[in-house]
């Protein structure tokens, strides 16, 4: 599969008009995805990898490979297979630190360049690895800034990290450290805190880090609190200069959300409008909108309403309760949506910035979920029919 730019003159409106889909449909803007990669590659002084979990769609992976991404953070055998089906060259970083013995054995067939660990036990389980393979100790700190606590499940304390790092070197692996500030992290100083902590660990262990991986966590959706990407990069580079004045480890980042979120919009159809005005969509909390329950502020983004002929709909708006299609009453958006009064069954809601943790979190509960991805020349409306979601 080789993607080409010529010929992608499809727009969401044209697609809706032609196909009138009754299943969710995801629109991908390849140029937006490429531009975001360029932003990382030109602004971040290190290697940019992509966390496949955010969106493993082959169109996304293919676009990033064609645009020259160097590596992928993979968390499972399936994610390794997804990347290796498209490239035997790119680096794979297996940065899910908890693995079964079976997963470890299979992963060894995929030419993994870096493994993360957060305990001596899990490091021992890795057994023999090719000479020079990187092993990154995953650190956890008590920090706030991400949408939820990424230190809850993974990560070694500073004290434990010192011992693990020494063991990495004893085993003959290339010493590295990694952390994750928490997804949708809105406080740039969290990166700085982690980088200084990694420097303390390395110094206490008497080890020069070959690589420092500063994780994902870059905010895709910029509320007033979330810093611009360049200012996060500046904070990271300054912290590295301050914390490692004598040696400069190779830097790596592994964004998921920030890489792909804005490159994809989803179209959901209005299945039913109840007598009381409630709206039932063809996908909801068990599908494309699942993350809105955990991170409701991510829903503070734009949507547009189209009729079945792909025409934008305008008019006065009122707040409506919105449900997904399943038989479960908690399949309900945790806030009302301001929607035009002209809304009728068969219309489409096209929601922007749905590239990350949307398609990848879909379940098939009640037989719903899923949905194709199509490439469009743009994914935002040509006209200004945007309405604000009310929450
Ligand atoms: C190890 C690792 N790296 C990168 C990411 C991507 O994070 P984000 O999507 O917040 O950029 C995750 C997300 O869970 C992760 O666990």
pLDDT-based confidence at residue 99 (cuts at 50, 70, 90)? very high
**From the CB of 255, is ligand 1 less than 6 Å away?**
yes
Q: What percentage of the chain reaches a pLDDT higher than 90?
A: 83
Given this model, what pLDDT does residue 15 score? Answer: 96
C-alpha span between 101 and 108 (Å, rounded): 11
Given this model, what pLDDT does residue 368 score? Answer: 96
pLDDT-based confidence at residue 152 (cuts at 50, 70, 90)? confident
Crossing angle (nearest 10°) for helices 189-205 and 158-170: 50
Residue nearest to atom 5 of ligand 1 (CA): 216
> If you average pLDDT over residues 123-144, what whole number do you get?
93
Taking Cα atoms as reference points, which of 58, 74, 86 lies closest to residue 112? 74
Tokens in use for 31? Answer: 């140029």
**From the CB of 138, is ligand 1 less than 6 Å away?**
no
Chain-centroid distance of CA 126 in Å reads 27
Ligand 1 pocket mutation, candidates 55, 94, 98, 180, criterion most atoms within 8 A of CB:
180
Q: How far is the CA of 105 from the centre of ligand 1 (A)?
A: 23
**From the CB of 218, is ligand 1 less than 6 Å away?**
yes
CATH for 12-26+260-388 is 2.40.37.10
> If you average pLDDT over residues 147-152, what whole number do you get?
76
Helical residues (DSSP H) of the chain, grouped into ranges: 12-19, 30-43, 58-66, 77-84, 101-107, 120-125, 158-170, 189-205, 229-243, 257-260, 291-294
Q: How far is the CA of 273 from the centre of ligand 1 (A)?
A: 38
**From the CB of 215, is ligand 1 less than 6 Å away?**
yes
Q: Which residues contact 251 (CB under 8 A, 6 or more apart)?
A: 44, 45, 46, 47, 211, 212, 213, 214, 236, 240
pLDDT for 386 beyond 60: no
CATH for 30-259 is 3.20.20.10
Tokens in use for 365? Answer: 């509960």
The CA distances from residue 322 to 22, 278, 339, 389, in Å, are: 17, 6, 10, 12
Q: Is the dihedral of CA 50, 57, 357, 305 positive or negative?
A: positive
pLDDT for 222 beyond 80: no
Domain locations along the chain: 12-26+260-388, 30-259
The CA distances from residue 234 to 36, 40, 67, 247, 354, in Å, are: 17, 12, 24, 18, 27
Instruction: Label residue 344 exposed, middle or buried (CB < 10 Å: 0-12, 13-18, 19+).
Output: exposed
Q: What are residue 157's phi and psi, to 5 degrees?
A: -70, 165
pLDDT-based confidence at residue 385 (cuts at 50, 70, 90)? very low
Given this model, what pLDDT does residue 8 score? Answer: 59
pLDDT-based confidence at residue 292 (cuts at 50, 70, 90)? very high
pLDDT for 87 beyond 70: yes
Mean pLDDT (the chain, rounded) = 92
Given this model, what pLDDT does residue 243 score? Answer: 97
The region of weakest confidence among 138-147, 169-178, 353-362 is: 138-147
Q: How far is the CA of 369 from the centre of ligand 1 (A)?
A: 23
Given this model, what pLDDT does residue 2 score? Answer: 47
pLDDT-based confidence at residue 314 (cuts at 50, 70, 90)? confident
Q: How far is the CA of 356 from the centre of ligand 1 (A)?
A: 11
2-14 residue pLDDT tens: 454 434 579 999 9
Q: How far is the CA of 255 from the centre of ligand 1 (A)?
A: 6
Given this model, what pLDDT does residue 93 score? Answer: 98
Q: What percentage of the chain reaches a pLDDT higher than 70?
A: 94
pLDDT for 383 beyond 80: no
pLDDT for 67 beyond 80: yes
Given this model, what pLDDT does residue 353 score? Answer: 93
> If you average pLDDT over residues 55-63, what whole number do you get?
98
329-366 residue pLDDT tens: 999 999 999 999 999 999 999 999 999 999 999 999 99
CA angle 213, 218, 220 (to 5 degrees): 150
**From the CB of 355, is ligand 1 less than 6 Å away?**
no
């Amino acid at each position: 599969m080789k993607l080409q730019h010529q010929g992608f003159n499809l727009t969401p409106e044209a697609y809706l008009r032609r196909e009138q889909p009754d299943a969710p449909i995801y629109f991908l803007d390849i140029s937006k995805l490429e531009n975001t990669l360029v932003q990382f590659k030109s602004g971040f002084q290190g290697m940019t990898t992509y966390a496949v979990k955010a969106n493993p769609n082959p169109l996304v992976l293919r676009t990033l490979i064609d645009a020259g991404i160097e590596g992928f953070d993979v968390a499972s055998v399936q994610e390794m297979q997804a990347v290796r089906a498209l490239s035997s060259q790119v680096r794979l970083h297996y940065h899910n630190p908890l693995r079964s013995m079976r997963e470890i054995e299979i992963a060894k067939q995929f030419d993994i360049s870096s493994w993360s660990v957060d305990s001596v036990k899990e490091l021992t389980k890795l057994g023999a690895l090719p000479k020079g393979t990187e092993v990154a100790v995953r650190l956890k700190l008590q920090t706030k800034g991400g949408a939820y606590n990424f230190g809850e499940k993974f990560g070694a304390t500073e004290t434990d990290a010192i011992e693990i790092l020494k063991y990495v070197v004893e085993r003959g692996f290339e010493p590295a450290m990694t952390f994750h500030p928490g997804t949708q992290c809105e406080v740039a100083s969290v990166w700085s805190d982690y980088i200084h902590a990694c420097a303390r660990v390395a110094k206490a262990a008497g080890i020069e880090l070959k690589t420092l991986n500063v994780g994902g966590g870059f905010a895709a959706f910029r509320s007033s609190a979330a810093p611009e990407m360049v200012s996060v990069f500046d904070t990271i580079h300054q912290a590295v200069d301050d914390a490692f004045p004598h040696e400069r480890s190779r830097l790596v980042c592994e964004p998921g959300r920030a890489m792909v979120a804005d490159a994809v919009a989803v179209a959901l159809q209005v299945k039913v409008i109840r007598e009381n005005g409630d709206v039932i969509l063809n996908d909801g909390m068990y599908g494309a909108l699942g993350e809105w329950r955990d991170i409701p502020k991510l829903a503070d983004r734009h949507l547009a309403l189209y009729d079945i002929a792909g025409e934008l709909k305008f008019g006065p708006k009122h707040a409506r309760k919105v449900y997904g299609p399943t038989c479960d009453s908690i399949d309900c958006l945790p806030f009302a949506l301001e929607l035009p009064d002209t809304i009728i069954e068969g219309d489409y809601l096209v929601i922007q910035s749905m590239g990350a943790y949307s398609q990848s979190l879909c379940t098939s509960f009640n037989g719903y979920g899923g949905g194709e991805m199509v490439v469009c020349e743009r994914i935002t409306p040509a006209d200004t029919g945007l309405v604000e979601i009310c929450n």
